[in-house]
């Protein structure tokens, strides 16, 4: 659907899938608790897993936080927003409890996609939007991915093409004195640390209440995923591979698919979810997946591969 139809649908409490630079989101009016509740039921998402608010501006972010952006958040916002970065801040009373799972904090970001920015600017409320996939499955990086799984259950999809980044936003919490990284994502940790001239603490454990959505089992393509260290010797291992049982980092003769042609981490991020989805093809055997080099976006890519491999 186009932006005007999407606005109309959202204004009347509907659900619209929106393109962002990271992954497609499933959006509703964040101030409409009934609409937000539908997001949880369509995704089959547990209510303890809070949603991210999407806004077109820092001004609107300040409106929905209790006391605005602290100086370090402002410094990051100037450098990286709009972009794949989410802040967790104390929430304003106007954010419904259903959005934040009853917590006193709210996650917010400004997505960097022209169609979604146009849409957000036309609305007088923020959009609550998780990734537009059934809970626990691989995130969607194209309108077709959304249509395949949620098409019948939602009110529309804005097709904004394939996602430029391909990994969800990096989440940084400002609830305490020191910023805390809750999720690795599309803004590399090194870039954030460079900008702030400090090392950040990371908290990515699934058992911590501060990041309730960071469940260790996630991103599952419906088959057992076996991760292999970056640089593993593909030729030395005979897995009786067929064309869709293995994804390497660089092209290999016995793995038909590779995340990259050249080893570039941005290329790897763009192809990650598409390739993880492609192995969900009715076969039941394990899928062998080579990890990325552990730097830049590779850290977030490896986080996703390891979660996709986790057996609940």
Q: Determine, following the binding rule CB under 5 A, whether residue 169 of this chain makes contact with Mg ion.
A: no
Residue 169 interacting partner from Mg ion, ligand TXA, none (CB closer than 5 to 8 Å by kind) = ligand TXA
Question: Residue 115: which of 163, 71, 75 has the closest Cα?
Answer: 163
What distances in angstroms separate CA 174 from CA 55, 69, 165, 218, one per listed residue? 18, 9, 24, 25
Cβ(181)–Cβ(170) below 8 Å:
yes
Is 16 or 171 the residue whose CB approaches ligand TXA more closely? 171
In the complex, the smallest distance separating the C-beta of residue 154 from Mg ion, rounded to whole angstroms, is 15
Q: Which residues bind ligand TXA (CB under 6 A)?
A: 20, 22-23, 25, 49-52, 84, 86, 88, 100, 103, 105-107, 111, 129-131, 168-169, 171, 182-183, 210-214
Closest residue to ligand TXA using C-beta atoms: 213
Number of helices and strands (H, E) in the chain? 10, 14
Is 126 or 213 the residue whose CB approaches ligand TXA more closely? 213
Q: Determine, following the binding rule CB under 5 A, whether residue 141 of this chain makes contact with Mg ion.
A: no
Q: Which stretch binds Mg ion (CB under 5 A): 35-43, 125-133, 174-182, 298-306?
A: 125-133
In the numeric block, which tokens belong to residue 304? 């996703």
Residue 107 interacting partner from Mg ion, ligand TXA, none (CB closer than 5 to 8 Å by kind) = ligand TXA
Cβ(140)–Cβ(131) below 8 Å:
yes
Cα angle, residue 287 at apex, residues 282 and 288 outer, rounded to 5°? 165
Cβ(244)–Cβ(256) below 8 Å:
yes
Q: Determine, following the binding rule CB under 5 A, whether residue 131 of this chain makes contact with Mg ion.
A: yes
Question: Residue 298: which of 255, 267, 261 has the closest Cα?
Answer: 267
In the complex, the smallest distance separating the C-beta of residue 149 from Mg ion, rounded to whole angstroms, is 13
Residue 277 interacting partner from Mg ion, ligand TXA, none (CB closer than 5 to 8 Å by kind) = none
> Which residues in this chain contact Mg ion in the complex, by CB under 5 A?
131
């Amino acid at each position: 659907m186009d932006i005007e139809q999407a606005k109309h649908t959202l204004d009347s409490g509907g659900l619209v899938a929106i393109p962002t630079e990271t992954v497609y989101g499933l959006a509703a009016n964040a101030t409409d608790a009934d609409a937000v509740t539908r997001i949880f039921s369509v995704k089959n998402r547990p209510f303890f897993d809070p949603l991210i608010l999407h806004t077109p501006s820092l001004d609107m972010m300040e409106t929905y936080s209790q006391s605005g952006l602290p100086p370090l958040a402002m410094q990051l916002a100037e450098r990286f927003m709009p972009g794949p970065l989410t802040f967790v801040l104390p929430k304003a009373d106007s954010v419904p409890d259903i959005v934040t799972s009853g917590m006193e904090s709210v996650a917010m970001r400004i997505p960097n996609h022209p169609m979604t920015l146009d849409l957000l600017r036309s609305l007088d409320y923020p959009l609550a939007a998780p990734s537009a996939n059934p809970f626990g499955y691989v995130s969607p990086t194209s309108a077709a991915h959304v249509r395949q799984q949620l098409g019948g259950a939602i009110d529309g999809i804005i097709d904004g093409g394939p996602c430029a980044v391909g990994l969800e936003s990096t989440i940084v919490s400002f609830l305490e004195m020191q910023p805390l990284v809750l999720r690795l994502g599309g803004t590399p940790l090194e870039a954030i640390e460079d900008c702030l001239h400090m090392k950040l603490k990371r908290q990515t454990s699934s058992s911590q209440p501060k990041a309730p959505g960071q469940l260790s089992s996630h991103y599952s393509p419906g088959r057992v995923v076996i991760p292999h260290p970056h640089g593993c010797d593909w030729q030395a291992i005979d897995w009786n591979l067929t064309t869709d049982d293995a994804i390497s980092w660089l092209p290999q003769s016995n793995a038909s698919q590779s995340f990259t042609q050249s080893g570039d981490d941005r290329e790897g991020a763009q192809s990650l979810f598409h390739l993880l989805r492609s192995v969900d093809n009715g076969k039941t055997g394990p899928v062998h997946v080579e990890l990325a080099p552990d730097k830049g976006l590779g850290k977030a890519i490896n986080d996703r591969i390891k979660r996709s491999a986790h057996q609940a």
